[in-house]
Amino acid sequence: MMILAIESASLTASAALVESGRVLSECTANDGRTHSETLLPMISECFRMTGRKASEIDALAVSMGPGSFTGLRIGASTAKGLAFALDKPVIPVPTLDAAAYNFFGSEYLLVPILDARRQEVYTALCEFRGEEFIVHEEAAARPLREQMERAKQLGELLRKKCLFLGDGLIVHEDTIRREMPEAVIAPPHMKIQRAASVAALGEKLFREGKSVSALEFLPLYLRESQAEQDRRRRGLPVPEVEL
């Protein structure tokens, strides 16, 4: 099975081509450029480097959110366009779960975080028990300090140290180190989200029958964008966004 995976939910943009559990190619950037500049060239490069053709893939695995509204819409529209053109299914992969899945077999309590602004993070709580992946708390937006306390309590219950990961560390690492010094911070090469992890978890979800059509796929936002909230406060209608 060949999967094209896309990660664009937050600061990191990444694309990967994975076949039968083998990463054929992967391109990742976290340099401040917009995903509209980087994502399609990355996808093209994944095919160019491997000599594979887009028509050969069996499915597209897409980081579905939560995350940046702009990043999610770019990733969703790219995936839906390719899926329509190629007549392939889409595998929606929860962004935070995919980030944690990069730590397959870890003995830590995994705490992925993405910056949600307004002193909040998008976050979840996950762990591995052998090869079993367990999500204790699904994606939510909450204050960082609240999440640190929730992670600490669950970690004590499970007798596991907490490991923080995700590109939200770019903004929040100093706070975590200062206020939760017992926590483990992912090393630089494992902090950010990877499309290869989206593909790995995506293949598992595909085999569980959790793929959808391009028409059915929608990103997970969790909350309205700042622009939408501003319109509501001013009593203006909020248009529905369809991808």
Spans of all domains in the chain:
2-94+194-233, 103-191
Instruction: Write down the pTM of the prediction.
Output: 0.91
Per-residue pLDDT of the chain (243 residues; tens, 9 = 90+): 999 999 999 999 999 999 999 999 999 998 888 999 999 999 999 999 999 999 999 999 999 999 999 999 999 999 999 999 999 999 999 999 999 999 999 999 999 999 998 889 999 999 999 999 999 999 999 999 999 999 999 999 999 999 999 999 999 999 999 999 999 999 998 999 999 999 999 999 999 999 999 999 999 998 655 554 444 455 555 455 555
Enumerate long-range contacts of 139-145, CB under 8 Å, 24 or more apart.
Answer: 139/65, 139/66, 139/94, 139/95, 139/96, 139/97, 139/220, 139/222, 140/222, 141/66, 141/116, 141/222, 141/223, 143/119, 144/113, 144/119, 144/120, 144/172, 144/175, 144/176, 145/175, 145/179
| CATH no., domain 103-191 | 3.30.420.200
**Cβ atoms of residues 67 and 117 within 8 Å:** no
Q: In b/e form, how buried is each residue of 67-93, taking b as 16+ CB within 10 angstroms? A: bbbebbbbbbebbbebbeebebbbbbb
- Pick 2-94+194-233's CATH classification: 3.30.420.40, 1.20.120.350, 1.10.357.10, 3.40.50.300: 3.30.420.40
The rounded distance, in Å, linking the Cα atoms of 54 and 44 is 9
Q: Are domains 2-94+194-233 and 103-191 of this chain identical in fold?
A: yes
pLDDT at position 233, please?
Answer: 56
Instruction: Return the biggest CA–CA distance within the chain.
Output: 53
**Cβ atoms of residues 122 and 144 within 8 Å:** no
Q: For residue 65, report the phi and psi dihedrals to the nearest 5 degrees.
A: 115, 175
pLDDT at position 204, please?
Answer: 96
Q: What is the CA radius of gyration of the chain?
A: 18
pLDDT at position 231, please?
Answer: 47
**Cβ atoms of residues 163 and 186 within 8 Å:** yes
pLDDT at position 235, please?
Answer: 59
Within 10 angstroms of residue 29's Cβ, the number of other Cβ atoms is: 18
